[in-house]
Structure formats: C-alpha cells, structure tokens
Amino acid sequence: MSIIGWGWNSYFEAFWRGSDLGNAVPGRVVAQQRKFWRVAGDFGECWAEASGGLRLAAAESDWPAVGDWVVMELHGADSTAVIQEVLPRRSKFVRKSPGKKIEEQVIAANVDTALLVSGLDGDFNPRRVERYLAQCWESGARPVIVLNKADACEEARGKAAEMERVAIGTSVCVVSARTGEGFAELEELLKPGHTLVLLGSSGVGKSTIANRLLEETVQEVRPVRESDSKGRHTTTTRELFILPGGALLMDTPGLREMQLWDAENGVAQAFADIDSLAAQCRFGDCRHEAEPGCAILAALSAGTLDPGRVENRRKLLREQEFLQRKIDPEARQEQKELWKQIHRAARQKYQQRQRDEGKR
Ligand SMILES: Nc1nc2c(ncn2[C@@H]2O[C@H](COP(=O)(O)OP(=O)(O)O)[C@@H](O)[C@H]2O)c(=O)[nH]1
Ligand SMILES: [Mg+2]
Ligand SMILES: [Zn+2]
C-alpha cells in the first residue's frame, strides 16, 4: 500500500517538502506497543523506535500516536527503523492523561471524522456523549454520534431523539453491528483517504463495528459482563486499518475516563444552544441562578431545555477553569500560537501550490 492509500495528502506534503530530510521516508503510525511503533508506508510495514532527539522531547503529547505521520529512517530488514520527527498534526483527539498528572494524552492523530459510539443498552448516557463532543469539536475532527446495539433495544427511536437534543451541529446514526442495520448511513461517511476513529467506552461495540466495516474479523471482540454491561478492557493495541473502500479506520481501547484537556472552544461549541440563550439574558453577567430575565431559567421552566444538560455544561466549564489554572499559562499560550502558525503555514503553502499549478 502506498502512502496515498494510508491517507497522505497535500497537508502533509506541504510540511514534507518544506524540510531538509536527507533520505528519510514518510510513514504512518498504525499501532503502538510501549516505546515501539508500527509504521506503514511505501516501503511496507515495520517496527520503529524513537530517535534520541524525540526521546528527549519532554511532553507525552510530543511522542508519536496512532494516526501520526512520521519522518523515519529505514535501516534494512535486520534493524529497527528510527522515527526522527512527528509531522504537524492536522487534528488530534486528546484527553487529560488519567491520574494526578496534568498532562495531555493523544488518543488519535490526524482524524477527519470521529465516530462517538454509545450502546443503546445499559451504557446509554447523553452526558458522557456531551463530554466526548466537546473534546471532539476542539480536536479539529468532525463528530458523528453512533448509537449501536439497536437490535437489543426496544425504544431505539426515543433514545435517538434524546441524543439528538445533545447533538447540536452533528448527526446521530442508529446502528446494529450485529445485524448490519443502519450501516448504509455509516458507509456514506467512508471516503478514500479519509480517517475515522471509533471512540467510546469499553463494551459499546467499537471492535464489532470495525469488523463489520472491514468485512472480516480483525479486532478481538469480548462479551460484556451482564451485570453492568461494561466490557472488559480487551483492545490492548490501537490499530489503524484500511477499509475495502479505501477509508482508514482506527479502533481504540475503551476509555475508562474521559477528562477533558484544554477544550474551551470545544465546550462552547458543544453547548452552542445554551450560549445563544445566555446571550438573551437581561444581565450581561447573568449566572443563570435566580436573576430576573434569565433566558436559561425561562427555557428550563418552559421545559425546552434539559436541566441535566445545563448542569453538565456548568460542570465541564468548572473542570476547564481548574485545568487552566494548573496548565502553565506560558506553555498554553505557546501551544495556541504553534497551532495558529501551523495552520497558517499549511494554508499558505497550499495556496502557493494552487497558484503554481494554475501557472503550469
Ligand atoms: N446485541 C448486540 N450486541 C453487540 C452489538 N455490537 C457489539 N455487541 C456485543 O457487545 C460486546 C462488546 O463488543 P466489542 O466490539 O468488543 O466492544 P468494544 O469494547 O467497544 O470494542 C460483545 O459481546 C459484542 O458481541 C450489537 O449491535 N448488538
Ligand atoms: Mg474493542
Ligand atoms: Zn441567565
């Protein structure tokens, strides 16, 4: 498979041409095992380790993640290849790394569409989906909500309608990975060279969906415990696959917790309906608690706004405030500037290329 088949495009090409890379080759990370990465490219596939320079990189988020495009040097069949550099990411789905450390963890890099999967069984939880949505809007990938196990649920339509109320700006697909119901709608999202990632708790059916889309059994599927409908954590290596139609699909292990990383804009976007209500409150500094003329309180008492949703937004904003006090403000600003520069540079290179091609 060529790098084009693995999703290489003008965005990455722009960074590739711009650097002085000697005889290195590009490759895409398809799996990770501790400090080794499985990389695919024009050369085929091989395992690679990080160069000394990369190993000195301080933050966990600077390490290669599944979906990343890397610059690597091949050293023949007998020795491990070496990853020199991670090319700038076009998008990245992240979370706060679990535990006390205030650190960003990259779950999936260079994703176009994120399939946020829930089960229509015991797992169903719109509040959790709001959390994923916020982080997804922040990531640069487009979210699609997938409700799986329609075959095991009597009131799938009702639950879908409930989820649609949190799905501002995105769509909700009701599917069954067991029967194939609803898959036509999913398959419309699969375009050659596009990368999709399956995200969601353990046991919701991500690997079963992957197997069905792959038209073969590649990912291990384990029964969920009946008592709490939670799956055991079976997917130990994340993997990136090429689907029969040419789209790229990433399966991920179930994320036990999904604490947001810096996602101020993502939270705003996920709750855009509430923000636009807030703009109608009589007082500019309304806290939506007891103030007269509060549009949010009015919507709550009219029953057009879900109190659970308002409470969740408050909770996520509090988490953001806490996090932002903890993240080194200088590092945070640097990161923001870096993203701006990356996107500006990519845009300029792309526009230059368009002009050059116009002249030819
Ligand atoms: N009834 C039903 N069960 C499903 C469906 N999809 C997956 N499952 C079951 O849910 C369990 C967990 O599936 P798995 O794909 O491993 O979930 P993952 O942890 O999200 O990858 C397995 O027992 C699957 O057979 C579905 O559409 N309907
Ligand atoms: Mg799985
Ligand atoms: Zn208000």
Cα gap 201→146, rounded to integer Å: 12
Tell me what the mean pLDDT of segment 145-158 comes to. Answer: 95
Contacts for 326-335 with beta carbons within 8 Å, 24 or more apart? 326/102, 327/102, 327/262, 332/262, 335/262
Q: Is the CB of 213 under 6 A from ligand 1?
A: no
**Straight-line distance from the first to the last Cα atom of the chain, in angstroms, rounded to the nearest whole number:** 30
Residue with tokens 């969920």: 224
- One-character DSSP codes across 287-307: -SSS-TT-HHHHHHHHTSS-H
Tell me, yes or no, whether 103 and 72 share the same domain: no
Closest ligand 1 atom to the C-alpha of 254? 19
Q: Does any domain span residue 1?
A: no
Distance of CA 328 to the CA centre of its chain: 24
Residue 236: its pLDDT value, please? 45
Residue 76 lies in a domain: yes
Helix (H, G, I), strand (E, B) or coil at 214: helix
Q: Which pLDDT score is estimated for 169?
A: 86
At which of 86, 107, 131 does a domain end? 86
pLDDT at residue 342, rounded to an integer:
66
pTM (2 decimals)?
0.87
Q: At what angle do helices 307-326 and 295-302 cross, to 10 degrees?
A: 140
What pLDDT was estimated at residue 18? 61
Q: Is the per-residue pLDDT at 124 higher than 70?
A: yes
Using the predicted structure, report yes or no on whether residue 107 has a pLDDT greater than 70.
Answer: yes
- The reply to whether 39 and 97 lie within a common domain is no
Q: What is the CATH number of the domain that holds 285?
A: 1.10.40.50
Does residue 99 share a domain with residue 241?
Answer: yes
Of 58-62, 84-88, 278-282, 329-333, which gets the smallest average pLDDT?
329-333
Amino acid at 146: V
Which two structure tokens, joined as six digits, stand for 41? Answer: 């490219």
Q: What value does the CA radius of gyration of the chain take, rounded to a whole number of Å?
A: 22
pLDDT at 227: 43
∠ CA(133), CA(149), CA(122), 5° rounding?
75
Considering only CA atoms, which of 117, 251, 263 is closest in space to residue 195?
A: 251
Are 69 and 138 found together in one domain? no
Confidence band, pLDDT 50/70/90 cuts, at residue 211: very high
Last residue of a domain, one of 54, 86, 118: 86
| Gap from CA of 63 to ligand 1 centroid (Å) | 31
Residues 50 and 97 in one domain: no
Element (H, E) at 272: helix 272-278
Distance CA 158, CA 39 (A): 43
Phi, psi of 328 (to 5 degrees): -55, 115
pLDDT at 313: 95
| Distance of CA 236 from the midpoint of ligand 2 (Å) | 8
Containing structural domain, residue 174: 92-251
- For residue 122, tell me if it sits in a domain: yes
97-106: per-residue pLDDT in tens?
888 888 899 9
Mean pLDDT in residue range 116-136: 93
Residue minimizing CA distance to atom 2 of ligand 1: 149
Does residue 139 sit in the same domain as residue 223?
Answer: yes
Q: Partners of 33 in the beta sheet?
A: 36
pLDDT tens for 333-348 read 776 777 677 667 666 7
What local confidence, expressed as pLDDT, does residue 176 receive? 97
Which amino acid residue places its CA nearest to atom 26 of ligand 1? 149
Please state the domain count of the chain.
3
Average pLDDT, the chain: 87
Give me ligand 1 centre to Cα 149, in Å. Answer: 7
Section 40-46 average pLDDT: 92
Examine residue 352 and state whether it is found in any structural domain, yes or no. no
Mean pLDDT of 154-175: 93
Average of pLDDT values for 29-42?
Answer: 92
Domain shared by 56 and 159, yes or no: no
How does pLDDT run across 283-323, given as a tens digit for each residue?
999 999 999 999 999 999 999 999 999 999 999 999 998 88
For residues 134-139, average pLDDT: 94
Read off the pLDDT of residues 180-195 as tens digits, 9 standing for 90 and up.
999 999 999 999 999 9
User: Is the domain of 98 the same as that of 208?
Assistant: yes
User: What's the CA gap between 41 and 29, in Å, rounded?
Assistant: 9
Domain boundary among 32, 53, 86: 86
**333 lies in a domain?**
no
> Which amino acid residue places its CA nearest to atom 10 of ligand 1?
205
Tell me the average pLDDT across 154-171. 93
